[in-house]
Chains A and B, each alone.
Chain A
Amino acid sequence: MITTYLFYFLSFIAIMFALMVVLSKNPVHSVLYLVLTFFTIAGHYVLLNAQFLAAVHIIVYAGAIMVLFLFVIMLLNLNKETEPQKSTWLKASAAIASGLLLVVLVGSLKGAETIVPTNTFNPNIGLIEKLGKTLFGEFLLPFEVASILLLVAMVGAVMLGKRSIK
């Protein structure tokens, strides 16, 4: 019973904070709300028996990516006064368009059959042993390709960040 309430609570604050990211005027507040959204999503991962993924999610997103965002925002000195705003018409049309998208997606999900959990339910699925065996067995080649992708991204970021290229 408490798990159901926890699901409701986490879903509610995830949606609330995600909306606050979009709607808050100050970019620094947006980043902080996004960190809170990521924490609630990590809570969902724990509820879904993906404990290792929850830890990685907090370390990578809240620890690395959001700090990068915060650094850039503070480096560029963005605040409420410099924040560009769209006109009311464009804001209203954006809200209507995304609302229609939500209606279409929910309508298409309404007829979907639900999956009942399989009988061979394995609670150890999210633990590091099982995940590591899958990652370094079946997905070894994509893992190596991901490392090349990170190297390329690092080289690209350094190239773009240089002040002038001779």
Chain B
Amino acid sequence: MSAIEVVPLNWYLLLSTVLFTIGVLGVLFRRNAIIIFMSIEIMLNAVNLLLVAFSSYLSDSKGQVFVFFIMAVAAAEVAVGLAILMMVYRNTKSTDINVLNKLKW
């Protein structure tokens, strides 16, 4: 028995909303750039969960294919982002985003 028959879609909407908001909170709350990356991963996963929920409720596999693409983009983003972060650490000896204020007026 699957969740589709007993759990309304609105609950999945609410769960994804809460997870997305936690991701936004993490981006605003922390100064460590790695934790900000992880919060972005939480937001991407909230959207993935929503796509899978809609795909299952509408019996359409396109939503799940989109989740594959989002996973590929997330993997690319993490690889490049962590490389940039390593370079920032090499130059400033910290992953604090507040040291990156050269473009601030």
| Chain A residues engaging chain B, CB cutoff 8 angstroms | 1, 3-4, 6-7, 11, 14-15, 18-19, 21-23, 27, 30-31, 34, 37-38, 41, 44-45, 47-50, 53, 56-57, 60-61, 64-65, 68-69, 72-73, 75-76, 78, 82-86, 91, 93-95, 97-99, 101-102, 105-106, 109, 112, 114-115, 117-118, 120-123, 125-126, 130-131, 134-135, 138-139, 142, 146, 149-150, 152-154, 156-158, 160-161, 163
Contact = CB atoms under 8 A, between A and B. Distances in A.
Dominant secondary structure of chain A at its interface with chain B: helix
Given A149-B76, A153-B75, A14 B86 contact: no
5 contacts: A18-B23, A21-B35, A34-B42, A41-B45, A157-B83
A114 B4 CA distance: 12
Contact of B55 (A15, A21, A76, A125): A125
Dominant secondary structure of chain B at its interface with chain A: helix
Given A45-B52, A86-B30, A98-B21, A18 B42 contact: yes
A114 B34 contact: no
Contacts, number: 238
A90 B7 CA distance: 38
